[in-house]
Structure 1
């Protein structure tokens, strides 16, 4: 009787100052105050520019994970007697993490695509699968689990938060043995409902759920049939392109990866060109603080688009596109960016001999960059592209190359 009335006093610094619940993912603002990630994200995405605890104006809205506090919270949870109902109920947000497999199995059976308690059950399952690899393996191997979650995602009338949680769960278990193939088959079979729900999240969901949706689409695009389904989903490609204009590198990175995985067929590349992807990539490459990852993926997409007539025409007609590519040649620490940049220039200047692009390359010191790349320990195909580019640019623009050679005689084209 006494044990049923016991309760646990939660240390105050384990609680989020906003929700007052135990922090699941503690992160610290530049003010030094720590919050639960979901709470502070909701605060900032609601338009606030202050620290909730101090009300100071935030010079930066970035936050960093508080790994030390995260470990302390989990050590505290594990050190207590979490086996009793009383203990579990007092751990609040951590209660779903310490549920027994039997309890989780019972919740999975209760999931209904249109049930009133679906959101509550899904939120508990999200926390359970986030907690450990063992938990993810358990739910991924639970008979019919993926079918239940894809069933939720295919319910286009479901609330946006329910769809977001379904996406989170699918992403979390995707890498478990055999789960990816099963999820792919179920989503493709539900066409077009699941893709419509993903589109809805990309348009109206939270920032994190948009990133997770793009990652799920990237995974799906590995299947040939899925590429067709993605291409046929009205409005999906245009929404993805619009997301590239967001000032969030994590989102742009996820979308670029998704588009690369999707762009395997000529028809999809043509659609992307028609939607204005070359213009978006050109502007992205001209950003002064662009990350290496986004640079690499932007150039990879340009290289893919340059294999189509529509893509080459768009590249030649886009002001400063060739200049932006030249600027990214020989970028430090990125062999991929250099190679894909050369593919774009080689395709435009050598294979299809676009005079307009040739002129832009020479005018913007492109020959210098190409010769520098040749001096590096590069692969044979890269060296061959450099050699071809130097030859064709030298033939058409001897003066431009001559000016360079008189200043750097130690670099000679092969």
Structure 2
């Protein structure tokens, strides 16, 4: 196909591929529908890619049937050269069809079929997503999931409903209203996290659920965060265990916990749920993605502000080593959190065993290098506080910097 000369006006100016569904924008330029809808609806651009003229998000896109037929004819003529024929595009999704499918969700005979069709429509293109959103389908999906929770039944279609919500997100206003109208909305999602692993597609179902939970937590007010129960944190912390959810789901679960950290009672409930141990295990299992480590260290910092959190951290044999190993290897944000956690340990939990462990795993050497690196002054000041507090214990160790440095700490 590389040797075939494709007429230039058959190509979409955005994708540079042969157009399957050519549409003309109000600026007079023709694009492939998927490409221009992605440009407008997903990327939120408001200018024409070619002319740079204003192109509102709700602009009319007029199907160019003449050009489409011309492209189809050309493809047919060149079929022997490996060119596939462009199929005739499906008619646009209508409100009437969406309303029919929404009614089907309430009919047990066609419930699963309706949910599957809505999921497929959401995955198809940006135009469908816009239509489904405008007709309130995300809220209907949430209410279907809530109905499953209320009945205590794992109904067929719950995976499709959760999957749909990854394509068409619940609008922020709907999320806020659902939370204010129903105290059990978060319980509904953690109920899914607690379902047995034997359920069909358990990892996908629970991963989708925690992503929806993240959406709700992002849009809830302090009153909702203040009334969270221990069971909520047990469910989210248990989802952190290896193999329960996907990496994307893990990132969402960590985000949920971090959002709940500002309140002291929430930190205590996380610690009681075993969060500290699970967070360290995440780092020990493998080298996680940068964002996961940043979230993990952010949560650990908050949890180490309480005595029980520090106790749990130091009860794990690999904790100091993990904190030390990640310095300089992930990001400045991780360096920051690691130093602040070590500072809390140094200030409030520095037993002889802990201080010896810091020498043994190379913490002191890393901190000394940080003093010489291009890091913020406030971070270096924290390191100096650690050294000043415990230099008497470390001064005779070959790992500790030279005598001149020790002397400078006590001027």
Alignment CA distance shift 1:112-1:291 (3 Å): closer
Preserved CA contact (<8 Å) 1:329 1:337: yes
- Alignment root-mean-square deviation, CA: 3.2
Preserved CA contact (<8 Å) 1:154 1:194: no
The residue that corresponds to 1:245 in the other structure is 241
| Alpha-carbon separation, structure 2, partners of 1:149 and 1:344 | 41
Residue 165 of structure 1, aligned match among 156, 160, 169: 160
The residue that corresponds to 1:209 in the other structure is 205
Preserved CA contact (<8 Å) 2:261 2:302: yes
Residue aligned with 2:234, SS: helix
Q: Which has the larger radius of gyration?
A: 2
| Pairing 1:137-156 to 2, within 5 Å after superposition | 137-142=130-135, 144-155=136-147, 156=149
Alignment CA distance shift 1:108-1:170 (3 Å): same
| Alpha-carbon separation, structure 2, partners of 1:271 and 1:135 | 42
Preserved CA contact (<8 Å) 2:364 2:399: no
Please report how far the alpha carbon of residue 408 of structure 1 lies from its aligned counterpart in structure 2 after TM superposition. Answer: 12
Please report how far the alpha carbon of residue 317 of structure 1 lies from its aligned counterpart in structure 2 after TM superposition. Answer: 3.0
Please report how far the alpha carbon of residue 215 of structure 1 lies from its aligned counterpart in structure 2 after TM superposition. Answer: 1.6
Residue aligned with 1:245, SS: coil
TM superposition outliers: structure 1 runs of 4+ over 6 Å: none
TM-score by length of 2: 0.67
| Alpha-carbon separation, structure 2, partners of 1:327 and 1:314 | 19
Residue 292 of structure 1, aligned match among 290, 307, 328: 290
Residue aligned with 2:295, SS: helix
1:123 aligns with 2:116: yes
| Pairing 1:63-212 to 2, within 5 Å after superposition | 79-83=86-90, 100-113=93-106, 115-142=108-135, 144-155=136-147, 156=149, 157=151, 159-174=154-169, 179-192=171-184, 195-204=187-196, 206-212=202-208
Alignment CA distance shift 1:344-1:121 (3 Å): same
| Alpha-carbon separation, structure 1, partners of 2:280 and 2:172 | 34
The residue that corresponds to 2:214 in the other structure is 218
The residue that corresponds to 1:341 in the other structure is 338
Please report how far the alpha carbon of residue 162 of structure 1 lies from its aligned counterpart in structure 2 after TM superposition. Answer: 2.4
Q: Deviations over 1:128-147 (max 9, x none)?
A: 222233322222222x4344
Q: Deviations over 1:337-395 (max 9, x none)?
A: 21111111011113665554333212322111112222222223222222222222324
The residue that corresponds to 1:359 in the other structure is 356
Please report how far the alpha carbon of residue 235 of structure 1 lies from its aligned counterpart in structure 2 after TM superposition. Answer: 3.6
Structure 1: segments with no counterpart, 5+ residues: 1-74, 84-97
| Alpha-carbon separation, structure 1, partners of 2:374 and 2:137 | 50
Please report how far the alpha carbon of residue 114 of structure 1 lies from its aligned counterpart in structure 2 after TM superposition. Answer: 5.8
Please report how far the alpha carbon of residue 301 of structure 1 lies from its aligned counterpart in structure 2 after TM superposition. Answer: 1.6
Structure 2: segments with no counterpart, 5+ residues: 1-82
Please report how far the alpha carbon of residue 183 of structure 1 lies from its aligned counterpart in structure 2 after TM superposition. Answer: 2.2
Please report how far the alpha carbon of residue 273 of structure 1 lies from its aligned counterpart in structure 2 after TM superposition. Answer: 0.9
Residue aligned with 1:319, SS: coil
Q: Deviations over 1:44-96 (max 9, x none)?
A: xxxxxxxxxxxxxxxxxxxxxxxxxxxxxxx979x21244xxxxxxxxxxxxx
Q: What is the total number of aligned residue pairs between the two structures?
A: 315
| Alpha-carbon separation, structure 2, partners of 1:236 and 1:370 | 37
The residue that corresponds to 1:304 in the other structure is 302
Please report how far the alpha carbon of residue 311 of structure 1 lies from its aligned counterpart in structure 2 after TM superposition. Answer: 1.0
